Amino acid sequence: MSARDRILGRLRAAPKGSPVALPDIAAWHATRPPLATDAALAKFRSNMEAAHAEVHDTTAQDWPLLLARLAAEKGVRTLLFGPDTPHGAQLAASAPAGVELVPYDRPVAQWRDRLFDGIDASITGARSAIADTGSMVLWPDANEPRLMSLVPPIHFVLLDAARMHANLLAAMLSERWASGMPTNALVISGPSKTADIQQVLAYGAHGPREVIVLLCLASGGKP
């Protein structure tokens, strides 16, 4: 008999106890009404900023200009991007001056050293966002791999303001996560941090020191 069989055997041999009803998640969800669009955006912004991230308003057309300005301000010289995404193509067409665009286009093993030591910043899209906790949902894939949002010290995130959910459960339900999970799903709420030394908060523990959200609004923003 295997360890598996013995463990399951002991669990099955245990007394059953009274049956426990399936938890009523829908009832709990109903107690948390959806937020109006403006309120959700305001909450997302204030939570993100409280977590030490920056949120800048822009539009789906103008964000490359905003990115160019922010990259220049922060001294970004190398920017990692996914060339096969629509926003990657848009960026390549209007590359910011003085910034080398580095495509993530081969397996990590072929260029690990440069990724870890030679990249100042990255830009990825976000699938959606969560107002309640000030979080962004990323589903990395072949076009925008997992390490893009982790290794470079600065992470720019392009977010469509229309993709705002009130909370994590709302995101999971309305995007039907349970019917097909990706290799890796991420929910990111600001820059990497730690309070492991005397409860003093420090940013940039292992992941990005800065997370900068380019929030694309339908009705414009300042570039």
Partner 1 sequence: MSQPIRIHAARDFKERSLAALNDPAQRKNFRGAMDFLQMKRRAQFGDKDELTTLRDLGEAIRRYALANLPELLEQLERNLTANGIQVHWAETADEANAIALGIARRVDARLIAKGKSMVSEEVGFNHAMEAGGLETLETDMGEYIVQLAGEAPSHIIMPAIHKTKQQIAALFAEKIPGVAYSEDVDTLIRIGRQVLRRKFAEAGIGLSGVNFAVAETGTLFLVENEGNGRMCTTVPKVHIAITGIEKVVARLEHVPPLNSLLPRSATGQAVTTYLNLISSPRKPGELDGPEEVHLILVDNGRTQAYGDLQLRATLQCIRCGACMNHCPVYARIGGHAYGTTYPGPIGAIISPHLRGLEATYPLSFASTLCGACVEVCPVRIPIVDLLVRLRNEAQAREGSADATLRGSGAARTTLVSTIWNGWALIYSRLRMYRITSWFMSRGRAQSPVEQGAWTRSRTPLTPAPKRLRDLIKETNQ
Q: What are the residues facing 25 on neighbouring strands?
A: none
Is residue 69 near partner 1 by the rule CB under 8 A?
no
Is residue 195 near partner 1 by the rule CB under 8 A?
yes
Segment near partner 1 (CB under 8 A), from 38-46, 89-97, 107-115, 212-220? Answer: 107-115
Q: Using CB under 8 A, which of 108, 114, 162, 220 touches partner 1?
A: 108
Is residue 107 near partner 1 by the rule CB under 8 A?
yes
* Distance set, CA 98 to CA 77, 101, 118 (Å): 7, 10, 16
* Distance set, CA 171 to CA 27, 34, 160, 163, 206 (Å): 16, 11, 14, 9, 27
Q: Using CB under 8 A, which of 78, 189, 217, 223 touches partner 1?
A: 189
Q: Within 10 A of 139 (CB to CB), how many other CB atoms are there?
A: 18
Token pair listed for 81: 């991007």
Q: Using CB under 8 A, which of 162, 205, 220, 222 touches partner 1?
A: 205
Is residue 11 near partner 1 by the rule CB under 8 A?
yes
Segment near partner 1 (CB under 8 A), from 4-12, 33-41, 56-64, 93-101? Answer: 4-12
Is residue 186 near partner 1 by the rule CB under 8 A?
yes
Q: Using CB under 8 A, which of 65, 95, 147, 217 touches partner 1?
A: 147
What's the rounded Cα separation, in Å, for the pair 193 and 190? 9
Sheet holding 54-58, edge to edge: 54-58, 210-216, 154-160, 121-125, 78-81, 100-103
Q: Using CB under 8 A, which of 30, 38, 198, 219 touches partner 1?
A: 198
List the interface residues with partner 1, window 20-59 (CB under 8 A): 20-25, 28, 31, 47, 51
* Distance set, CA 60 to CA 12, 86, 223 (Å): 56, 11, 11
